């Protein structure tokens, strides 16, 4: 029986992996900000996450992270990611300066339950009105205006 990582890689090689428009530009721009550390928080396992992000050329940005193979309670991943960042960077992070950017109601709830800033972006299956009902701290239609998004994040740091 094949494992999830192998199956994910096979699926990507068969159907490809579509990058959300301007997601790469946002990640690149955030990585250039001196007071921002980028991490990945996802319900996927680390192996599946790597396979997916390698396929779109973004994995190298994410040396910090928390993954679904550690816990199935999504909000617990916030503390795990913070601890990973603190250990790797030697910096203490205040939760008010930690942001979860996501495109689902689950992502907004994860951030809120984890006590960090929720940034909702309507790039997935859930529209902006659905995301707004969760009262995210910041909300955007998509990644079209990178300056606006980065500016809003930097203003809260």
pLDDT (tens digit per residue) in 36-92: 999 999 988 898 899 889 889 999 999 999 999 999 898 999 999 999 999 999 999
What is the distance of C-alpha 28 from the center of its chain? 13
- Determine the Cα angle at 99 with ends 40 and 21, to 5°: 65
Structure tokens at 129: 């009105």
pTM: 0.88
The number of beta carbons lying within 10 Å of the beta carbon of residue 62 is 18
- Distance, in Å, from the CA atom of 143 to the CA atom of 128, rounded to the nearest integer, reads 13
β-pairing, 64-67 vs 99-102, is: unpaired
Contact 103, 126 (CB under 8 A): yes
- Distance, in Å, from the CA atom of 42 to the CA atom of 70, rounded to the nearest integer, reads 10
- For residue 67, the surrounding DSSP H or E stretch is strand 64-67
The number of beta carbons lying within 10 Å of the beta carbon of residue 91 is 10
Contact 51, 12 (CB under 8 A): yes
Q: pLDDT tens digit string along 86-142?
A: 999 999 999 999 999 999 999 999 999 999 999 999 998 999 999 999 999 999 999
* All domains in the chain, ordered by first residue: 20-155 (3.40.50.1000)
The number of beta carbons lying within 10 Å of the beta carbon of residue 146 is 15
């Amino acid at each position: 029986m094949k494992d999830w990582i192998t199956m994910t890689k096979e699926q990507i090689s068969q159907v490809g992996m579509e990058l959300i428009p301007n997601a790469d530009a946002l990640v690149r721009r955030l990585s250039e900000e001196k007071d921002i550390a980028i991490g990945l928080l996802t319900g996927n396992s680390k192996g599946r996450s790597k396979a997916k992000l390698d396929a779109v050329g973004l994995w190298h940005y994410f040396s910090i992270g928390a993954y679904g193979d550690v816990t199935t309670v999504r909000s617990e991943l916030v503390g795990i990611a913070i601890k990973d960042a603190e250990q790797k960077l030697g910096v203490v992070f205040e939760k008010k300066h930690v942001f979860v950017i996501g495109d689902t109601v689950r992502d907004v709830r994860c951030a809120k339950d984890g006590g960090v800033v929720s940034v909702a972006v309507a790039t997935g299956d859930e529209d902006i009105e659905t995301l707004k009902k969760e009262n995210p701290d910041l909300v955007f239609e998509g990644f079209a205006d990178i300056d606006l998004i980065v500016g809003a994040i930097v203003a809260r740091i």
